[in-house]
A = this chain, B = another copy of it.
């Protein structure tokens, strides 16, 4: 496992699904994710990553997750996790579940992608072109949930030639087993894994000033 260089020029912090339905007790699936979200203090970790990125002139990019009535009513090929999300109307744009958590409200250093569907924005939103058009080829990846949307963004970023540092504790999942699965897979698929503590200094120094 290598140690990536984090330079403001070509690095972004990519945060997946920083939304109520994953990170706040109002979440429609809090009974599933609440425990590891609180254990890892994910909101606070993401807040620290954002702050460090801003200090280091590193762009923060959000890949949010959204569904609406027309999708809940018409999708015919739901896999297991989609079935759960659709049954609970997770990330419903008509409610508050799809809102960003207040502590992570986009600021002027945040670019918000179109909402992704299913697991990865590389198949359903503009993540790839927004990064490439800005000359970004290195990602610091964090957010929710560890073994589903974060891991799929990781896999697809790698398939597209990006180098990825995945933050191991700024994420959580539907249970310890799911979180463990993600951490195991990050160890194979990421270019580097590191904790928030290990990453924030490198991010805040990324502008080279």
Where the two chains meet, the residues of A that have a C-beta atom closer than 8 Å to any C-beta of B are 1-2, 70-71, 74-81, 83, 111, 114-120, 123-126, 128-135, 147-148, 151-152, 155-156, 158-164, 174, 177-178, 180-182, 184-185, 187-191
Contact = CB atoms under 8 A, between A and B. Distances in A.
A192 to B, nearest CB: 8
Nearest to A192: B80
Contact of A79 (B116, B124, B152, B189): B189
A111 B134 CA distance: 28
B189 A76 contact: no
Give the interface SS of chain A, mostly helix, strand, loop or mixed.
helix
Nearest to A81: B188
A152 B184 CA distance: 15
A120 B159 contact: yes
B159 A119 contact: yes
A77, A124, A174 — most chain B CB neighbours (10 Å): A77
Given A75-B134, A78-B191, A147-B181, 8 more contacts: A1-B83, A76-B133, A118-B129, A120-B155, A123-B129, A125-B125, A148-B188, A181-B182
7 closest A-B pairs by CB? A132-B161, A114-B114, A181-B181, A123-B159, A75-B133, A181-B184, A124-B126
Given A129-B117, A181-B180, A184-B181, A80 B124 contact: no
Contact of A147 (B76, B160, B177, B185): B185
A1 B181 contact: no
B160 A79 contact: no
A111 B148 CA distance: 26
A130 B68 CA distance: 12
B123 A124 contact: no
A85 to B, nearest CB: 11
Contacts of A152: 155, 159
A131 to B, nearest CB: 8
B79 A158 contact: yes
